[in-house]
Amino acid sequence: MKHTILIIITLLFSSMALAQQTYDTDFTQTHVMKISGKTKNKAGHLVFNGSDQLSMQYTTPESEYFIIDGNMVKINMDGKKAELDSEKVKMVKLQRSTLLNCLLGNWEQAAQDNNADLTVSEEKGQRTVLIKAKGKVPRGGYNSVEMTYNMADGKMTKLVLEEAIGVVNTYEIK
């Protein structure tokens, strides 16, 4: 029994270590619209403090941003600017919550919020976490979210968000 408890504790700590809770790094983004096949490549810098503060400042194209500051979500993308209170806009609340929970390693909550199944696999020094919708996706939710972590240092190296509307965003994290 003691051996089993030690294994469970070790697995819990290794899972937490694989969900690094702060980031200050560069990223690239590939944005694909499935219906049209149009692709946009972007790049920038990501800062995440481990709670509800996230900043993605784009260098390509310059001056674009995506910021979560508490309940507020501030966006300047593709020539469109918006400041949205996630407590007032249900779709934004779900997207904000999913993104923050994925970065924090709260995968179970992200799966529950998106009416999705959660699977975790390990292969060749990487852990892959897949959140895949079971059926109808809530408005603003994701068909799937896939995260890849380097098991040696716990850092997320890739995040793929497939929106219900047919947009796929792939973030490669440096």
pLDDT tens for each residue of 119-157: 999 999 999 999 999 988 888 889 999 999 999 888 899
* Tokens 């799937």 belong to residue: 144
- Per-residue pLDDT at 160 exceeds 90: yes
- Per-residue pLDDT at 164 exceeds 70: yes
Domains of the chain, by residue range, sit at: 2-173
One-character DSSP codes across the chain: -HHHHHHHHHHHHHHHHTS---EEEEEEEEEEETTT--EEEEEEEEEE-SSSEEEEEEEETEEEEEEEETTEEEEEETTEEEEEETTT-HHHHHHHHHHHHHHHT-HHHHHHHTTEEEEEEEETTEEEEEEEESSSPPTT-EEEEEEEEETTT--EEEEEEEETTSEEEEEEE-
pLDDT one-digit tens code per residue, 35-56: 898 999 999 999 998 889 999 9
The structural architecture, per CATH, of the domain 2-173 is Clam (2.50)
